[in-house]
Amino acid sequence: MLCDFVFDADGDRLRATCARCGRVVRVKSRRVFAACRAAEVPLTAEQLAAVVKSGAEPDGWRPWPIGDAVQRGLAAVGITEERIQRMIGGRDCGCGARAAALNAYGERLQRRIRGAAKAVAGFYIGE
């Protein structure tokens, strides 16, 4: 189980305090992971590293891969990477690079939108 952090200002950084185990850390962003000491079955270092590498936020949110969705949509109507390569003579069409770039752009955009929505909710709800 991951720590359930509550954040408050501490100078130029944030102070994150776990509501369950009481762990206190100073961080620059709200994207902080720690294995909770109050968990019945604690996370191993490998499990914690896998969570961080997955790109998920501490609350489980993950960005939607827009490039992969576009690729699946085009494949559904018959426009596949293999078909494009046959049309251009077997050269690399760059579809994979475009999908990766679109995924990266989409992730940045979704994180900014999510951050803005959280800021608005925090203003009106008081979190």
Higher-pLDDT residue of 7, 109: 109
Whether the CB-CB separation of 106 and 63 falls below 8 Å is answered with: yes
pLDDT of 117 above 80: yes
10-31 pLDDT per residue, tens: 777 888 888 888 888 888 777 7
pLDDT above 90: residue 6: no
Mean pLDDT value of segment 67-71 = 92
pLDDT of residue 55: 67
Q: What's the pTM?
A: 0.55
